[in-house]
Amino acid sequence: MVTSTSLVYLIALPLFGAAILLLAGRRSDKWGHLLATALSAGSFGVGLYQLSQMLSRPTAERAITQKLFSWIAVGTFKVDAGLLLDQLSICFVLLITGVGTLIHIYSISYMSHDENRRRFFAYLNLFIAAMLLLVLGNSYLNLYVGWEGVGLASYLLIGFWNQKPAYATASKKAFVMNRVGDMGLSFAIMISFATLGTVSFAGVQAASHTASKAALTAIGIMLLVAATGKSAQFPLQAWLGDAMAGPTPVSALIHAATMVTAGVYLIVRSNFIFDAAPTAQLLVVIVGAITLMFGALVGTAKDDIKKALAASTMSQIGYMILGAGLGPAGYAFAIMHLLTHGFFKAGMFLGAGSVMHGMNDQVDMRRYGALRKFMPITFATFGLGYLAIIGVPPFAGFYSKDAIIETAFNAGGVKGILLGSTALLGAAITAFYMTRVMVLTFTSKERWEDDQHPHESPLLMWIPMAILAIGSVTTGFLFTRGHALVHWLTPVVGERAEGGKVLLQPAVVSGLALVAVIIGVAIAVSKYQLGKVDSVAPQNVSVFTRIARKDLMQDSFNEAVFMKPGQALTALLVKGDDKVIDGAVRGIAATALGTGSTLRRTQTGFARSYAAFILIGAIVLIAAIWVVTQ
Amino acid sequence: MNPYNYLYVAGLLFTIGAIGVVIRRNAIVVFMCVELMLNAANLTLVTFARINGTLDGQVVAFFTMVVAACEVVVGLAIIVTIYRSRRSASVDDASLLKR
């Protein structure tokens, strides 16, 4: 393995920026955002340099490592703080720093009226550093540090406007639900250490050939729990919709393009565990399939543009998890969809931010309409992202999503047919709800309030949107040309098994997917473009709509099953603490006090009574001595 | 004469003194009772010296007398001072410390 000394700069640059901005405080208000953007761009530059170095080496020597310091050395348990940059990490490094830098640039303008803009940039830099540590760590323990770091940054940024209680609650909700997933990761690390004796990726990979299947299944399931928490997958998905309380660039960077895909990274990185544990792998595809339908159904009913996009994110990550659960055939496609999704979804979120910027922070799509005329650039960039996500050829989503659907169909047997049909149905629903967003926002009739004057966003905002839109158009084509990305990732995720029984040819799948997309688009157009749209959400709707508006009852379920019993348990413990433990302490004090106040009566202040006590005491003493010595 | 008779006398004197200290209120009388107890103790010391045929007890009796004389000086001064300020020599009236 080639070693390097320059990997640490990838993380150090943004971390340095966060430290400077947070420590310098208000003194850096004037230039803080520029420094943060420059450092993020610098990190992107280092990433590009590493890519060029990597390309110049032969395939076998492309992965490089850097040992930072010896972190834990207890007996036989040794963990170094070390970094690993291989073909998989470099994809993430470039996505994180590239999209991250664009979003820094966008935020300069988007947050220019916010007096805490410097703090915002400090948190963004902190996030970039933590996310890079997550994808560069060479062991599960190093990954865990980054994993917690992005959780912290996400919490700080969702609650950035925490003067609104609802936003503060949303950040707390995200943090608590992520804790549940983090617990899974810590369990996975503990089981890994207990059974395999190591926590580094290389060590676990080597040990996975000889380890018991039960241990690997346990580790795999715990890793899946971790992934569901961070990636907002079923059953830990409820926090993502509320996370839209954060500023829109945060939603674009953290809750669409990068952090929420950490779960996919974790599963693909742990491919050797899942390949050896079919039960865990089956659970992965089930979680992915459920979530892709769940997110899509929620997306059809949301009127808040950001929440509709959040539901869509959940659904698209469901596709990635599904792909990652299909084994060596799907890992590369999961990563491909992750990368293309990073472009088009970040672009659409920035577009949503641009629309909100022009509409006095209105987020209700029923109050939009006909914005195409007023925001042509936003319309164009958002539109390209839209074509990419619904999977129209030759846009990026077509290549990546079709590949996952096709792999799902060819997974074999009933499982393949079920997964493939689910993914196909999901594609139709995706086309429906994304068309709905598009029509309600840009092409239907105006439904604004009178005092709104929609206008195009400034240069600094639309340039990142345009670059991301270009990515939405081209990346799919580039990644699939000569199976570029699949071959690139093969050394990390293993060889695809070629020549198996193929249920449906790629062309057939693409045809089916296109038909599904056309049906979805047609329904949405006839319903929202040609039909009449109320500017207030109608209340006399079917029970299904009502359930979908309430996120398929996810919050009611969590509150009934986890929150209420949890609160009851807490109340019980508080009561126990109050009555039993505090009671014992107070009882001892009361006993001492009572004894004292009784004995106090003997202290009369009369000298003669003291003399009498002394006399009686002396007599008793003499009597006792007499009795004993007799 | 049986020297143990002196011990009986000393015990009687000590008992009279102790009862006097407990039951009388007048500080002068209490004080005299205390002296009586001291003298009872002296008498036992001298008696034991006689019984054992050594001089140790008699020497200690002299020390006791000297200390008792000093104590009388200080004690009477306190009683007189209390009497001057309160117009009473009752020991029960001097019970201010409990408050």
Chosen from A608, A614, A620 to mutate, greatest number of chain B CBs within 10 A: A608
For position A501, what pLDDT does the model report?
A: 64
Half-sphere exposure of A59 (CA within 13 A, CB side): 6
A247 three-state secondary structure: coil
Distance, in Å, from the CA atom of A323 to the CA atom of A354, rounded to the nearest integer, reads 32
Max Cα separation, chain A?
119
Q: pLDDT tens digit string along B8-60?
A: 999 999 999 999 999 998 999 999 999 999 999 999 999 999 999 999 999 99
Whether residue B29 lies within 8 A of chain A, CB to CB, comes out as no
Which residues in chain A have Cβ-Cβ distances shorter than 8 Å to B95?
A: 604-607
pTM: 0.79
Pair of tokens at residue A346: 């970040």
DSSP state of A258: S
B21–A contact, CB cutoff 8 A: yes
Chain A hits for B96, Cβ within 8 Å:
605
Domain layout of chain A by residue ranges: 277-549, 558-629
pLDDT tens across A503-532, in order?
A: 777 788 888 888 988 999 998 888 888 877
Overall average pLDDT of the B78-97 stretch: 85
Closest CA to A133 of A18, A35, A37, A248: A18
A615 touches chain B (CB under 8 A): yes
- The residues near A339 (Cβ < 8 Å, ≥ 6 apart) are A91, A95, A400, A475, A479, A485
Question: How does pLDDT run across A45-84, given as a tens digit for each residue?
Answer: 999 999 998 888 888 888 888 888 888 888 777 888 888 8
Q: Please provide the DSSP assignment of A415-482 as one string.
A: HHHHHHHHHHHHHHHHHHHHHHHHIIIIIS-----TT----PPPHHHHHHHHHHHHHHHHHHHHHHGG
Kindly state the average pLDDT of the residues A152-159: 91
Listed residue (B59, B58, B43) closest to B6, CA to CA: B43
Which pLDDT belongs to residue A392? 85
B21/A608 touch (CB, cutoff 8 Å), yes or no: yes
C-beta atoms of B95 and A605 within 8 A: yes
Candidates B92, B97, B99, partner chain A, best to mutate (most A CBs within 10 A):
B92
- What is d(CA A615, CA A608) in angstroms, rounded to the nearest whole number? 10
**CA angle, corner A338, sides to A320 and A158, nearest 5?**
100
ipTM score of complex: 0.86
Closest CA in chain A for residue B19: A612
List the structure tokens of A266. 């974790």
pLDDT in tens, A268-293: 999 999 988 889 999 999 999 999 99
| CB–CB contact B22 A612 (8 Å) | yes
Contacts of B18 in chain A (CB under 8 A): 615
Q: How many CB pairs under 8 A join A and B?
A: 28
- How long, in residues, is chain B? 99
Interface of B with A in 56-95 (CB under 8 A): 91-92, 94-95
Query: Where on the phi/psi map is residue B73: left (φ > 0), alpha (ψ -120 to 50), or beta?
Result: alpha
Q: What is the pLDDT of residue A499?
A: 56
Residues of B in Cβ contact (< 8 Å) with A622: none
Is the distance from CB of A211 to CB of A195 less than 8 angstroms? yes
Distance CA A301, CA A546 (A): 8
Residues A86/A63, Cβ–Cβ less than 8 Å: yes
β-pairing, A77-85 with A64-74? antiparallel
